[in-house]
Chains A and B, each alone.
Chain A
Amino acid sequence: MTFGAILTALVALLFLGYYTGRKRSISLSDKSNQRLHSLPQHYGYLIAFWSSVPALLILLFWSVLESSVINAAIVAQLPAQLQQLSADELGLFINEIINLSHSSAPISDDVKRHAVLYYKELIEFSDWVKSIVVFVLAFVAMFVALAFVKPEMQARNLVENLIRWAMIACASIAVLTTIGIIFSVIFESIIFFKTVNVFDFLFGTHWSPQEAIREDQVGGSGSFGALPLFVGTLLISFVALVIAVPLGLMSAIYLSEYSSLRFRSFAKPVLEMLAGIPTVVYGFFAAITVAPFIRDLGESLGLSLSSESALAAGIVMGVMIIPFVSSLSDDVISAVPQAMRDGSYAMGATKSETIKQVIIPAALPGIVSGVLLAASRAIGETMIVVMAAGLSANLTFNPLEAVTTVTVQMVTLLTGDQEFDSAKTLAAFALGLGLFLTTLVLNIISLYVVRKYREQYD
């Protein structure tokens, strides 16, 4: 049976389990003339759980392991000289076998034909055993659970415990995700830093990963200097913040202090629309419209601008993060107690003086944390820079030139066809580690600042 068919059957079993469990609890209480401890459906839920969930877990587990076990079995029965091949070539060979097994064309090569036949045999065998194991487990679990059903059984408590554990498991996925991220970047990065010195990576000024793909130049010491990428990322993020912070902050001030309720209810959603537009759209707009516009503008002023200038990507990114700055600042400005405003007005200050000298200083921690979050957004932003910024690693602070960023290099390093453990792909993970740590630190600082601020007024 296929995966889908087994899954459907298990869902059917789930309903069957519910129905029989419910029925059995009612008939048992009728027979023994004893009140049920819980509602009949609780017994149903319990039986439904035991009749499908363990079997489902086994099914998932089996399906995950199946392909690697079968591949190993095929490799084991190949002739000796084929087994000598490198892991990549073996992978290719196995892929070919799998593809051949799906087509009906005759196979001329003897070794391959045997392998295909063996593969088909194994798949069929595995399917059989899988179906049998899953269904035997499902039925055994169901009947054992049914045997436990008694009127005095505390079915509701058991079901509620199951639900609680399921919810804890769901909540823990967040932790697992973080662990997964850390492990996936750290393992590959450690392998990378075995070939490339950490300091060469952090402070080297020459980035050209292409060279390293050639056999005679593996891990060429000068080619993985990531400093130009870090500088490029900071440059573009800086341009973005120069755009976003004044615009976002002024918008927030106007919306929370000056605007009428009607204008606010129109302008706020419109500003938030900027955050809802997919980044790939911004990237396209930056590459097709903004970059040529800025280049022409620069030329008319007598400046020589690259058409992939950091300026264009930075400006568009800045517009993208305006809503982050504005909505966070809006929240903290609204949270400033009215008494502080009233005090300032009573001293004869105008509204703008109150804002500049009372409200902003009071709201500053919140604003700073908003800006930090926006900065972490800008540093991690990918599509705009992939589409509108350059690929060549220039070490420059001039926003009129083309620079490349960490995220651009990660995308270019990982979207080609190369083996998984080449220095090139590993470098992408090392960059990912840097990116993750940078944004993590920014987030933690910003959360800390917000917490500290809250203590002052609550």
Chain B
Amino acid sequence: MINNTKKIKNQLAKRYAKEKRFKVYGLSAIAVSIAFLLSLLINISTTGFPAFQQTYINIEVDIDSKLLNLNDKYSEKALFRANYRKVINQSLKTLFPGVKGRKQKKALRQLVSKGARYQLRDFVMNNPSVIGTKQSLWFLARDDVDVFMKGGIDRSLPESDRRLKNFQLAWIDQLLAENSLEKRFNVNFFTQGDSREPEQAGIKGAMIGSLLTMLVTMLLSFPIGVSAAIYLEEFAPKNNRWVDIIEININNLAAVPSIVFGLLGLAVFIGFFGVPRSIPLIGGLVLTLMTLPTIIISSRAALKAVPPSIREAALGLGASRVQTTFHHVVPAAMPGILTGTIIGMAQALGETAPLLMIGMVAFIADVPQGVTDPSTVLPVQIYLWSDSPERAFTERTSAAIMVLLGFLTVMNLLAVIMRRKFEKKR
């Protein structure tokens, strides 16, 4: 008898230990997921944060009309075509006299960005009176200099392993000593389109492209999705074959891989209807088809949650079914419908794969002006930049991700706030 009690007691201790372990497993599963999420966010923001700053170089430029290759007439056309590159190169040469050899001279020219000449051009064209004077101007630095300034190049590495050689470091040191190198807020990142030069590349083109694509998506998917949901929830006859087919289709489309929608867009919209590639219009069409199931399913849930008493009261007062639905049921379900729409839009904003299929993956430097201009979108821009080997692009990719996640956070917060408001009302 005593033996048995002992046995059970021993077993009980084991069982309790097992119980504890099981609980720890559960907690650690959640901890692992959260740790992964945190490490992703921290990793992206630490690599992306430096991209919000950009190095500028101060150079005293001698805006000489001879160097500019200008005659005495300063017509707009002549000013536009003048040789600004030579002026900048000459100024760099006077800043660092005694640079010899083709390689070093080339490296010297590459201290400043390729875009510096256009910056100087705009400066001169805005006030032609500066011609013939010496001006101290801040120019964009090349990506290598920029990466060095942000600590991305290790001085202690052997020279052959470094992107910047000893003589280039000496120039940078001299510039630093003269206070001619400075990190500033990277305005270009938000005001420029894509570029092959990392220091000039910005996300404005992609942001506008995303905005236009989302506009098309929302204008189409919201009315279509909500009408479909209203029909299925309020009007559709029960046990009707066609209605069953529609419901099965919607549930199934919600789980179709997004890349298949890209194939649909390629074959039907581009191949059959001849819509041009790479434009926000077609991106919006494809994303509309992709987000429709999400919007329909969540709108139906919202409509279902409206108490039947509202419908019965309206019908009892003599309203028709359409009037009941549109005057009473839909307004009551609106917060839920909007929440679902926002979540669908957030999905569409982050979507990349179908857009690759329909050619929104081209290099486009111009900022799109309308829904029929070739453009790219934010996630595709991230994909394109992530392929570039330059270190400065890795940084910009992370920064673009931060912007994208920022937009998504705002949208999701909006959805949460709306849901809260909705719940309070009940």
A387 and B387 alpha carbons, distance in the complex (Å): 8
Cβ of B259 and Cβ of A443 under 8 Å apart? no
Q: How far is the CB of B33 from chain A (nearest CB, A)?
A: 5
**Are A247 and B32 also in contact (CB < 8 A) when A277-B405, A439-B256 are?**
yes
B350-371 contacts to A, CB under 8 A, are: 350-353, 356-357, 359, 361
Answer yes or no: B412 CB below 8 A from chain A CBs.
yes
Answer yes or no: B37 CB below 8 A from chain A CBs.
yes
A251 and B223 alpha carbons, distance in the complex (Å): 37
Chain B residues positioned under 8 Å from A444 (CB to CB): 252
Cβ of B320 and Cβ of A156 under 8 Å apart? yes
**Are A439 and B257 also in contact (CB < 8 A) when A173-B292, A278-B408 are?**
yes
Answer yes or no: B375 CB below 8 A from chain A CBs.
no
- A411's nearest neighbour on chain B, judged by CB, is B356
Cβ of B352 and Cβ of A280 under 8 Å apart? yes
Q: How far is the CB of A136 from chain B (nearest CB, A)?
A: 26
A282-333 contacts to B, CB under 8 A, are: 282-285, 287-289, 319, 322
**Are A432 and B263 also in contact (CB < 8 A) when A247-B33, A350-B19, A415-B361 are?**
yes
Cβ of A380 and Cβ of B260 under 8 Å apart? yes
Chain B residues positioned under 8 Å from A249 (CB to CB): 29
Answer yes or no: A132 CB below 8 A from chain B CBs.
no
**Are A278 and B274 also in contact (CB < 8 A) when A258-B26, A415-B361, A429-B267 are?**
no
Q: How far is the CB of B303 from chain A (nearest CB, A)?
A: 12
Stretch at the interface among B99-107, B157-165, B182-190, B242-250: B242-250
Answer yes or no: A153 CB below 8 A from chain B CBs.
no
Cβ of A170 and Cβ of B231 under 8 Å apart? yes
**Are A279 and B353 also in contact (CB < 8 A) when A160-B320, A178-B252 are?**
yes
Cβ of A250 and Cβ of B346 under 8 Å apart? no
Answer yes or no: A371 CB below 8 A from chain B CBs.
no
- B385's nearest neighbour on chain A, judged by CB, is A284
Within 8 Å by CB of A167, from B228, B268, B386, lies B228
Cβ of B352 and Cβ of A174 under 8 Å apart? no
Cβ of A173 and Cβ of B263 under 8 Å apart? no
Count residues of B near A (Cβ-Cβ below 8 Å). Answer: 84
A67 and B361 alpha carbons, distance in the complex (Å): 24
Interface string of B319-347 (1 = CB under 8 A from A): 01110000000000000000000000010
A284 and B408 alpha carbons, distance in the complex (Å): 17
Answer yes or no: B374 CB below 8 A from chain A CBs.
no
A174 and B15 alpha carbons, distance in the complex (Å): 53
Cβ of A432 and Cβ of B260 under 8 Å apart? yes
Answer yes or no: B124 CB below 8 A from chain A CBs.
no
Answer yes or no: B397 CB below 8 A from chain A CBs.
yes
Cβ of B249 and Cβ of A174 under 8 Å apart? yes
- A244's nearest neighbour on chain B, judged by CB, is B33
B1-60 contacts to A, CB under 8 A, are: 15-16, 18-19, 22-23, 25-30, 32-34, 36-37, 40, 43-44, 47
Chain B residues positioned under 8 Å from A443 (CB to CB): 251-252, 255
A280 and B381 alpha carbons, distance in the complex (Å): 10
Q: How far is the CB of B79 from chain A (nearest CB, A)?
A: 23
Answer yes or no: A351 CB below 8 A from chain B CBs.
yes
Answer yes or no: A166 CB below 8 A from chain B CBs.
yes
Interface string of A352-379 (1 = CB under 8 A from B): 1101100000000000000001001101
A178 and B296 alpha carbons, distance in the complex (Å): 15
Q: How far is the CB of A374 from chain B (nearest CB, A)?
A: 10
Within 8 Å by CB of B231, from A167, A273, A284, A439, lies A167
A247 and B32 alpha carbons, distance in the complex (Å): 8
Answer yes or no: B128 CB below 8 A from chain A CBs.
no
Stretch at the interface among A48-56, A75-83, A182-190, A196-204: A182-190
Which of A68, A181, A319, A420 has most B Cβ within 10 Å?
A: A181
A257-277 contacts to B, CB under 8 A, are: 257-258, 267, 270-271, 273-274, 276-277
Q: How far is the CB of A120 from chain B (nearest CB, A)?
A: 19
Cβ of B259 and Cβ of A407 under 8 Å apart? yes
Chain B interfacial positions (CB closer than 8 Å to A) = 15-16, 18-19, 22-23, 25-30, 32-34, 36-37, 40, 43-44, 47, 223-225, 227-228, 230-232, 235-236, 245-246, 249-253, 255-264, 266-268, 271, 273-274, 289, 292-293, 296, 320-322, 346, 349-353, 356-357, 359, 361, 379-380, 382-383, 386, 394, 397-398, 401, 404-405, 408, 412
Other contacts beyond A170-B225, A247-B33: 9, CB < 8 A = A164-B235, A170-B231, A180-B267, A185-B260, A185-B263, A274-B37, A281-B401, A289-B43, A356-B22
Interchain residue pairs A-B with the least CB separation, the first 8: A380-B257, A254-B26, A278-B350, A184-B267, A250-B29, A167-B231, A382-B353, A352-B22
Of the A-B pairs whose beta carbons lie under 8 Å apart in the complex, a sample of 12, sorted by A's number, is A167-B227, A167-B228, A167-B231, A174-B296, A178-B253, A181-B264, A246-B29, A250-B25, A276-B412, A281-B40, A285-B44, A352-B22
